[in-house]
């Protein structure tokens, strides 16, 4: 019961890594605000309630400041404050290359994936500090480490998240609020569902994640365990770090390159 009576907000908790982590927090005693842009938030809350946990659902846009403020206020009003925030919400923005990425696309990806965590830290950290400290965990990606794991827009946004965790950890010095990021590799979520669905239908699951040494993709629960560790007191001396969970992919980041000016076959 690592999170007994802890007040926790999880964004992007309507599916995937966010849902798996919210369920884990609740199973271990946490009282969870399940936030998502979709109606999946209520489905997550229903699962928590069925297991005897305590949770509230809220529909919100992680990149909208008013929504972020409203979500944190719900946690404080419902549970008496805030101890932990997992800023997990994000979008892929597709796989457009550098020259096919228009300004509107990259602006939206940055708004959700980078401004969203910024807003979460800005408004959650003071509330967590009031309780004597706690943890903020951000979802970054192996795509934020170096080229080869995502589109230009997505990769740039996640690189920003990694740096944001580092900068925030420094600027929260003395507050006892820790900020870390988790960097998933290929994980079966709503974002990657088409990849996994196609592989199953074509009987090609052996090719999913084949570039990493474990030769498979991850399940959301595997990422949830790492996010929960970073949020727990067991990680009390872990701060300003980007923890990679990718089956070993980023130990080399192998990638098939496309030459400039040529179209992939």
Q: Which residues are catalytic?
A: 154
Contact criterion met (CB below 8 Å) for 217 and 155? no
Q: Which of 98, 91, 247, 59 is nearest to 157 (CA)?
A: 91
Tokens of 174: 């003395």
Q: Please, what is the angle between helix 16-27 and helix 40-50, to 10°?
A: 30
Q: How many CB atoms lie within 10 A of CB 218?
A: 22
Tokens of 63: 């990149």
Contact criterion met (CB below 8 Å) for 41 and 58? yes
Q: Which of 4, 124, 3, 40 is nearest to 74 (CA)?
A: 124
Q: Which of 91, 85, 75, 76 is nearest to 22 (CA)?
A: 85
- DSSP SS3 for 104: helix
Contact criterion met (CB below 8 Å) for 35 and 9? yes
What are the backbone dihedrals phi and psi of residue 60, each rounded to the nearest 5 degrees, phi first? -155, 160
């Amino acid at each position: 019961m690592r999170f007994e009576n802890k007040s926790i907000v999880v964004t992007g908790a309507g599916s995937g890594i966010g849902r798996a982590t919210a369920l884990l927090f609740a199973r271990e005693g946490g009282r969870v605000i399940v936030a998502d842009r979709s109606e999946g938030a209520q489905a997550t809350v229903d699962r928590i309630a069925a297991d005897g946990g305590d949770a509230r659902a809220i529909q919100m846009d992680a990149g909208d400041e008013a929504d972020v403020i409203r979500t944190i206020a719900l946690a404080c009003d419902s549970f008496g404050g805030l101890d932990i925030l997992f800023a997990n919400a994000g979008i892929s923005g597709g796989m457009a290359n550098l020259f096919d990425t228009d300004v509107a696309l990259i602006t939206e990806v940055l708004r959700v994936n980078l401004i969203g965590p910024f807003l979460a830290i800005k408004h959650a950290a003071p509330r967590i500090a009031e309780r004597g400290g706690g943890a903020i965990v951000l979802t970054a990606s192996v795509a934020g480490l170096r080229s080869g794991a995502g589109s230009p827009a997505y990769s740039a946004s996640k690189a920003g998240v990694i740096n944001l965790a580092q900068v925030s950890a420094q600027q929260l010095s003395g507050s006892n609020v820790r900020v870390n990021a988790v960097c998933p590799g290929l994980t079966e979520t709503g974002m990657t569902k088409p990849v996994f669905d196609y592989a199953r239908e074509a009987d090609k699951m052996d090719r999913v994640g084949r570039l990493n040494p474990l030769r498979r993709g991850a399940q959301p629960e595997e990422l949830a365990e790492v996010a929960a560790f970073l949020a727990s007191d067991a990680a009390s001396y872990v701060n300003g770090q980007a923890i990679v969970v990718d089956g070993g992919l980023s130990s080399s980041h192998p990638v098939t390159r496309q030459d400039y000016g040529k179209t992939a076959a």
